[in-house]
Structure 1
């Protein structure tokens, strides 16, 4: 019988990792009213001049000739942006007192000369598309000013930087700009009316939830009605608990809502199977506590976990109960939610990608392919006492039009095979076994139902095992012969890692 352990705060290994080496340090440099020198009249120089002027700089352009686009930009002077054109080449004296210097040099010699002159004047310099002569780079920008996001690849992959920018653009609602401006207007009121620490952070978390809800920011005259309501909702002394699905392992399977929950947590109670990369997405100040529950191993009692969630929430903490997969599928979430309801503690659930879905994605199969299966069943691989579950309709699981996925089934594999065959499932029914799905040490076995026990033994894994049984898996049986992901059905053939 597995022994019990108490929830413990994790050591350094499971804490947020130290900052990795940076290729460059991202800084946000106010340029309002500062003098900037741009040398060159090309379209590339024009784009840099426009960007600098948008930051409030006074841009001085040194070039004998300007492209039509550059001429139009300077002539427009929109939104109070300040440009001064000096119809002559740049010289060392024009760099004196400048905050930044940018040039589109016609030759390597000019680039070197501009770089040296700027260095002598003590001015940070950038020569466009010439990294050896750049002391700083212009990254890709996501503009929701006053929210500004800069993306840099240190000049080695600008197209990649642009692709990252497009990804981020899709995640941020257009209304975020207005919410950020509103935050600036109410910041002083929050500082004076709410106490430092938990009370203020709760306010800003509630404010942020509204900002990302997609609704428009209120006008100035309506903001007064909105803010007291946020204060009232966020000023409660009580905490809350969020059950979050961490998915099967790979941190990229997390939902955006799960990431936001992790970044707002005071305390994270996480399972053994949660990958370190998932914890890396939490805010660095959050306390991380291991409350691992593993079948057949030393585990925390569910009662202790429930007590800990209640205790932390009553102390005003924002608690995230982080579970592998989806907390609502074999995650004992029902017991935890019931206890929280009894204690009157607010609780919510953020679903995760369950292991069966990740398995189907990894194999490239549909668990409900219309030619083979009209239903799918998720079945626990063992009962509360560690035996085969006796309340399962085993006869119903022999339906050839049903795909059955057994969770936590490694130790019961041989008995599952025996029981299904005894109830009428054909011994040659295709089976697929996967362990550590979506992780670097993932492994797979494919074969007939009759060989299931030996197949699982051959994987030699201590990780979670998922067993899928059904005709939909027959389409992938040829993958073993093609060398795709499979470990084969013989005992002497080792499992193949993939993913």
Structure 2
């Protein structure tokens, strides 16, 4: 992060603008909206600044800039077309530890202007650090479209009731939950519809009812998908951003974990081969205990929680103990990885059915219905099969599969680190052994694999 985002209070503060052209006028207008007392220094004052002189009560000094002119100002902006003057303004301000911005010269700035969405008192700011100002403005336009002006009125309502809510609800966590329910529920909708008096009445009623209600916790069992963060569902993202605790496994990527609420507690309970942080029974009870403590708990699992994710076991425990929960499906690895590898799981010329199995080794063996899996005209998807890959291929051949049956291994599918290795039941084990392949991986078996080269649309590290 090259620039630390910060909002500076300029109400009644002395600010200096050097230059008096069209660009200077735009910066003056921004400072004036923040309540600054503005002085302008320029040898020539142009029409755009003259037009706003009285509106913004500008103090204008018709002179050339000298270094001592920055003395006593909180913030300085240089908006001239003279490089020598701009450098002099920047150096003079920096020597006195005064914030300075030189328009279109990021190297001379100690701060930069973001693209601003003003829904006062809600302010959103976007910056590219000077790298792509047009992109920042485009992102601002997107934010403008999804943050209606009424959000400012909603913030004013919250400000009005903030002391009363704090006096009524002493526990910060419960207070946060109360506000999230208010700001995402019927009260907010009334404000958006312009019924602010009714919104106030409902807010008062909900606050009066609060003490009578027991705020129990809840568990959200969320499928994080195969790895790419933008494959999360809208509901998953919304629940992740309101959770108090996130319990996650080793298949959840750091990029996805970063989307959870920043101040939420993160608890790792990953289970890898011969390395279980917690036994499954302990994870089940952990979720229940956290919810009983009044927490909103996200259980974040790679792929889909109900496909080799043991989600059913976890909600059994929650149901037995009377704990509320939601299940949010995710894109399972079979669907995500196959799609990104350009391998359709079904295709009328290749496969009319698809079977998901786990290749997990138990006592150095894989106990599966090999006769069923060796049948033709189907696709077999093997989860957790990297270690047992050679045994899987040998077993299929032994039960009638052709030795040249196509097979693919997808590593870290849907992410920028995706790799796809293709071969046959005979050749793939040695191809994988010759490369440094790491979990998570997925194995796809069947003639649909021959479509990979033709339909390979997503380029990871290698194919």
TM-score, with length taken from structure 1: 0.75
- Residue matched to 2:297: 319
On the 8 A contact 2:16/2:76 being kept in 1, the answer is yes
Q: 1:473 to 1:323 in 2, by over 3 A?
A: same
On the 8 A contact 1:211/1:217 being kept in 2, the answer is no
- Residue matched to 1:268: 246
Q: State the Cα distance separating 1:213 from its structure 2 match.
A: 9.2
Q: State the Cα distance separating 1:372 from its structure 2 match.
A: 4.7
Q: 1:213 to 1:150 in 2, by over 3 A?
A: same
* 1:101-120 alignment, distance < 5 Å: 101-115=76-90
Residue 428 (structure 2) pairs with residue 467 (structure 1) = no
Residue 3 (structure 2) pairs with residue 28 (structure 1) = no
Aligned length: 456
Matched position secondary structure for 1:30: coil
On the 8 A contact 2:243/2:261 being kept in 1, the answer is yes
Separation (CA, whole Å) in 2 of partners of 1:335 and 1:372: 35
What is the aligned-residue RMSD (CA, Å)?
A: 4.0
Consecutive unaligned residues in structure 2, runs of 5 or more: none
Matched position secondary structure for 2:271: coil
Q: State the Cα distance separating 1:269 from its structure 2 match.
A: 2.2
Separation (CA, whole Å) in 1 of partners of 2:140 and 2:57: 28
- Residue matched to 2:411: 435
Alignment equivalent of 2:62, drawn from 84, 88, 99: 88
Q: 1:170 to 1:368 in 2, by over 3 A?
A: farther
Q: State the Cα distance separating 1:191 from its structure 2 match.
A: 1.2
Cα deviations by residue, 1:36-70 (Å, 9 ceiling, x for unpaired)? 33333322212212222222334444553425x55
Separation (CA, whole Å) in 1 of partners of 2:447 and 2:74: 69
Q: State the Cα distance separating 1:331 from its structure 2 match.
A: 0.7
Residue 46 (structure 2) pairs with residue 66 (structure 1) = yes
Matched position secondary structure for 2:421: strand
Separation (CA, whole Å) in 1 of partners of 2:104 and 2:233: 37
- Residue matched to 1:205: 180
On the 8 A contact 2:191/2:199 being kept in 1, the answer is no
* 1:42-61 alignment, distance < 5 Å: 42-61=21-40
Matched position secondary structure for 2:192: coil
Query: Which structure carries more relative contact order (alpha carbon 8 Å, separation 6+)?
Result: 1
Q: State the Cα distance separating 1:340 from its structure 2 match.
A: 1.2
TM-score, with length taken from structure 2: 0.80
Separation (CA, whole Å) in 2 of partners of 1:197 and 1:479: 53
On the 8 A contact 1:436/1:443 being kept in 2, the answer is yes
Separation (CA, whole Å) in 2 of partners of 1:183 and 1:427: 68
* 1:204-223 alignment, distance < 5 Å: 204-210=179-185, 217=192, 219-223=195-199
- Residue matched to 2:287: 309
